[in-house]
Amino acid sequence: MRKIWSIPGGIHPEENKSQSLQLPLGEVALPSELIFPLSQHIGAPAKPIVTVGERVLAGQKIADAKGMISAAVHASTSGTVTAIEDRTLPHPSGLSGPCIVLAADGKDEFAAFEACEDYLSLDKAVLVQKIREAGIAGMGGAGFPTAVKLSPRANQPIDTLIINGTECEPYITADDILMQTQAEDIIKGTLLLAHILSQPGRIVIGIEDNKPLAIAAITQAAEGTPVEVVSFPTKYPSGGEKQLIQILTGKEVPSGALPSSIGIVLQNVGTTVAAYEAVRFGKPLIERITTVVGEALATQRNIRVRLGTPIHHVLAEHGFAEKKAMRLIVGGPMMGYALEQDDVPVVKTTNCILAPTKKEMPPPRPTQACIRCGMCAEACPASLLPQQMYWYAAAEEYDRLEAQNIMDCIECGACSYVCPSNIPLVQYYRAAKGTMRQMAIDKEKSDRSRKRFEFRQERIAKAEAEKEAKRLARKKAAELAKQKQEADKAAGVQPSGHTAKADIVATAMASAKAKQATPEEQKAKLERAVTSAEGRLEKLQQRHSDADGDMKERLAAQIKQAELKLQEAKDKLAHFTPVPTAITTVAADAPAATADPNDPVAVAIARAQAKMTMAPDEKLQANIVSLTGRLAKAEEKLAAAKAENSDKVDALQTGVDKLKEKIASAEQELAELTPSAPTATPAPEQDAAAAAIERAKAKAAAQANLSPEDKLRDQLTSINGRLEKARIKLEQAQAENTDTVAALQLGLDKMLAKQDKLRDELRALNPNAPELTDQPATAAEVAPQPAPTVDAATAAIEKAKAKADALASMSPEDKLRDQIASLETRLDKAKQRLAKAEAEDDPNLDAFKAGVEKTEAKLQQTKQQLVTSNS
């Protein structure tokens, strides 16, 4: 006989177990409708795998486990799924949740079960998976998924397996009758669990001594097996997990830890039988034994009831007198909860339905003030301080409650039972624990958000630091280059502009060659894009199958986008044409014709080189040729538009006129640049850049020989010529009322100021200089004064105020009409700009098209809003 340890606290309430043991185990008829909540266990709710209108058989899986800590749900009879909707749940909150509703067809047809005689030869992982697929969860009341309990961590070896047959709660005898009628199945299930847990050193079944028939039946069935049957004195709540472990082993489970952390696994006798039947016969959890008791019933007994059966159907089968009943309770009187309505179903954790009369269980007496008697602390089996926890819970001092280890409270109700002031202590603890759990969830979310914010700030700071480091590096490089240039200048070394340009081109060629990928790399990149798009589509489809509600619709839209991207990637791969990677090395002074015509990079570089070495007149000639080509295309488009009587004729005509103006302007500049008198033509082989450098050197040498006074005179002569040209341009702009008037006026003012400064410097050197006798015209004299106009900013403000006042007095329909008119005007202008861009073959043509499309979409949306408001 092994030693039995005692637990602190505990009480001895009236047992009331004999009422339900007078009759043998019975059954109830199948109801017409069954309800299967998707959350009958601790953890994530199950995921429905059937649809409305689908016919199912008894034992068929109708909802799959979602995640590791979850349990599947099976139909308990044959019938048709009529709804998947929210129904009231058998829960203390009385809230509703998702349920599968099944209309029974009365045939009670079963699905085929996969039996296994030699189950002990199977791999342990296979056995655990069978239990998981059968939807087994703790049937003692907690509802923890059994497969999870049977899969402890590798670093937690199990040396003790305890089967809980205590059933200490008053009134409940479901486990008692199970042990009396299925003792051999309990022993076989115990040996199965021991096999899964690698044969712990001790296998024990604990039973309170108030169940002599159950003790005798289990003892007889356990003969010749390593299973040890231990009975111990009755005391509530000896059936609690941690309390039973302490009674049978003397060990205490640490606060916040699981029994597996000290090498112990504990299972209820009902769970043990369900696991055995799932492995041996392939039978899922579709029924359980439930105690139906209370003086408001004509018949009190234990029944085998199908899961999903509404409680009102069970009560009707046992002659329930609603007028006599004080309340309906699911579970026992100590840890059970009251039902507000009886249409909730029997689930995996429903071990008792209690219907007491008012005489049997009178209403609680009024709550009085705490007298600090300390009886609650003496009765607490977890050695807590209920009185202090009550004060802190009432004051919502959650930090102090946590310090009092309130989470170790098993909510057994012993403290409330012995309280002379009738304080509902457990209700305070339950409410406080719920609030603290929510606070912990909120804190975890807040911490995650804070970490994301801190990481983002750190990333931004790092990017800013890198940016600043690059800026400093560029600044240092520029200073070094400047110092080198000054040193070269002091040493008399003149840098060649042509060489510098050649270096730039060579650098650009090297950079382009380094960045350009080989055909193999280009194809590999496209293949990776296809693989990535396929992977993303597969993940989205998987998430879509697991989602529901609005999330399902959002994922459907994302799947559509992913499919389009995948198709686009496949099309690019299918039509892949390798781009040549060889970049022809072109000398700095080579013409564009020497570039490889199949290499766009080399052609572009050669073109840039040729342009850099062109003389001004050559550039103008090339520009005229380009404009002439564009004009020819524009005239062709104009002729086609006129033939089709298109509405783009005016815009195309404007584009043609503009191109003609540009050609005329370029020809005029070329004529001004090329003197009529014959000039010495440099030798063809002379480099244009070298000639420019020579001219600059000659000018610098001439400047070096001038006196300061002559230099000032030379600068004054130059700026006087520039002033004359600026004045002419300003007059033309004012005459045409162009947008450049203000800019030209500002430039003219700056040149006048520069002229005054030069005159002052010259006056300081020679007050009698002839350049000072003719005073220049002032800015007011040079620029013709326009007629006085209203200040532009003031006019704009007044215009905005007037528009705001007009809008304020408009009805919503009038505002929409005003917006439509404005959008139509904007659309016409945008179309004109687009036509002009098409006529001139503008490189920004796509941007103009996008602007037109965006304006058309906005106009259509506004018109739809007007139609909606009128309807």
Binding site listing for [4Fe-4S] cluster: 370, 373, 376, 380, 409, 412, 415, 419
Give the long-range contacts of residues 587-596, CB within 8 A, separation 24 or more. 587/502, 588/498, 588/499, 588/501, 588/502, 588/505, 588/506, 589/498, 589/502, 589/613, 589/687
Whether 242 contacts 405, CB under 8 Å: no
Polymer length in residues for the chain: 871
Report residue 609 as tokens. Answer: 């080189």
Report how far residue 734's alpha carbon sits from residue 587's, in angstroms, rounded to the nearest whole number.
48
Report how far residue 728's alpha carbon sits from residue 711's, in angstroms, rounded to the nearest whole number.
26
Report how far residue 274's alpha carbon sits from residue 74's, in angstroms, rounded to the nearest whole number.
14
Report how far residue 307's alpha carbon sits from residue 344's, in angstroms, rounded to the nearest whole number.
11
Residues forming beta bridges with residue 160, ordered by sequence position:
202, 264
Report residue 50 as tokens. Answer: 């059937």
Query: Can you spell out the DSSP letters for 677-689?
Result: S--PPPPTTS-HH
Find the helix or strand (DSSP H, E) in which 26 lies.
strand 26-27
Whether 161 contacts 193, CB under 8 Å: yes
Whether 12 contacts 170, CB under 8 Å: no
Report how far residue 542's alpha carbon sits from residue 551's, in angstroms, rounded to the nearest whole number.
13
Residues forming beta bridges with residue 345, ordered by sequence position:
310
Report how far residue 139's alpha carbon sits from residue 421's, in angstroms, rounded to the nearest whole number.
34
Residues forming beta bridges with residue 228, ordered by sequence position:
204
Q: Which residues carry a binding-site annotation?
A: 370, 373, 376, 380, 409, 412, 415, 419
Report residue 16 as tokens. Answer: 């009331």
Report how far residue 616's alpha carbon sits from residue 621's, in angstroms, rounded to the nearest whole number.
9
- Name 731's Cβ contacts closer than 8 Å, sequence gap at least 6: 784
Residues forming beta bridges with residue 355, ordered by sequence position:
none
Whether 616 contacts 669, CB under 8 Å: no
Residue 119 DSSP symbol = G
Expressed in angstroms, the distance from the first to the final Cα of the chain is 88
Instruction: Compute how many other C-beta atoms are within 10 angstroms of the C-beta atom of residue 838.
Output: 20
Q: What is the CA radius of gyration of the chain?
A: 47
Residue-wise burial string across 227-241, b where 16 or more C-beta atoms lie within 10 A, e elsewhere? bebbbbeebbbbbbb
Whether 93 contacts 427, CB under 8 Å: no
Report how far residue 161's alpha carbon sits from residue 145's, in angstroms, rounded to the nearest whole number.
17
Whether 344 contacts 88, CB under 8 Å: yes
Report residue 250 as tokens. Answer: 């003397």
E strands, 315-426, in order: 328-330, 337-339, 352-354
Of 643, 824, 665, 740, the C-alpha closest to 832 is: 824
Report how far residue 170's alpha carbon sits from residue 335's, in angstroms, rounded to the nearest whole number.
10
Of 358, 306, 265, the C-alpha closest to 73 is: 306
Cα 292 to its chain centre, rounded Å, is 48
Find the helix or strand (DSSP H, E) in which 780 lies.
helix 779-782
Report how far residue 480's alpha carbon sits from residue 462's, in angstroms, rounded to the nearest whole number.
27
Whether 425 contacts 376, CB under 8 Å: yes
Report how far residue 278's alpha carbon sits from residue 192's, in angstroms, rounded to the nearest whole number.
11
Of 141, 146, 136, 30, the C-alpha closest to 91 is: 141
